[in-house]
Structure 1
């Protein structure tokens, strides 16, 4: 019980414009039903007028034709009313679309205002000025350094850079240890040494 009475009533999303459109469409449908009924009745009365003429009842047939003519005039009026209803429905629906567009523009303008408050034109100009001043200050330092250093200073700077580069390379690349074992002699070297020994023995004898 408590949960039933405790529920909040959901707010209806149906607007007054929606209700007006619905009412106009209902009136339109009623007029169409009326027209359909009149058309059926006119067809029957036309056939009845033919039968009355065949039976020789000309006055009754004439009266029936007059009634038919009056109903046809009513149909013409309902056609105009239907056109007015359709135009009114279209106008209201288009106005609803325009309202949504206006609401969207309103939300967009509010967002732009908030963004402008976060970053005003003065803030942008100040940041640009600070950036420009920083660039100019760096240029001044570069010009001062370029004018105060002699060629000897420039050479010393380059030499220090080379030393730093070499030290970095040495620290980054480790050379393998030199092997302690004697390398095996190549066959060609053995033959050359053998010939040298034979030559020395011949000269000595």
Structure 2
């Protein structure tokens, strides 16, 4: 029962310290931007108010208000500088995270490559290449035998035999092309009958 209702272990968080730092920097950037908008609104309002005071003849109050406006403009410029620093720092941290990932990938790749090298050393590779070369040569010999490929000497022997056959053919007498005379079928049938009847006539 204790195992069923016991506390489950929370999965390890994947959020790194760098991630937290980037998040904080972006939050500070957003706050600075909001502050800038507030100052810009105040500057415009103070400018309109100083103009109104001048129209009313209240020069000293307008001057004091413009001094305040000038101070706020300096603050606005400082916030721009701070924003640039925050943006640069955020970029540097994010790029550093990418570099870490690349290094981790290289590390894993090097370990895998080392294992492959351990399995296939140079002697083993050379042995495999030699066996492959030998197998290719044997297959080529088999292909040549199957395809009936002849050497140059074999080709010369075949040509000589062919010339010899042609010479013999020239020396043989020509076969007559005239047709033999055909004997009528009736005469062929009568010949055996007369041969049988002739002895009987002699006895009479």
Q: TM-score range by the shorter chain?
A: 0.5 to 0.7
**SS of 2:6 mapped into structure 1:** helix
- The count of corresponding residues between Structure 1 and Structure 2 is 147
CA RMSD, 1 decimal: 3.0
**Residue equivalent to 2:32:** 31
Displacement after TM superposition at 1:131 (Å): 4.5
Give the ranges of 4+ consecutive aligned residues of structure 1 lying more than 6 Å apart after TM superposition. none
What's 1:68 paired with? 69
TM-score (norm 2): 0.64
Structure 2 residue 118 is the aligned partner of structure 1 residue 117: yes
Per-residue CA deviations over 1:74-101 (Å, capped at 9, x if unaligned) read 0000000000000000111111111111
Structure 1 length normalisation: TM-score? Answer: 0.63
Which residue does 1:200 correspond to in 2?
189
Deviates more, 1:58-67 or 1:114-123: 114-123
1:108 counterpart = 2:109: yes
Unaligned runs of 5+ in 2: 139-181, 198-204
Q: Distance in 2 between matches of 1:12 and 1:35?
A: 35
**d(CA) in 2 for partners of 1:6 and 1:108?**
38
Structure 1 residues not aligned, in runs of 5+ = 139-191
Q: Residues of 2 paired with 1:88 and 1:98: CA distance?
A: 15
2:90 paired with 1:89? yes
Q: How many angstroms does 1:201 deviate by?
A: 2.7
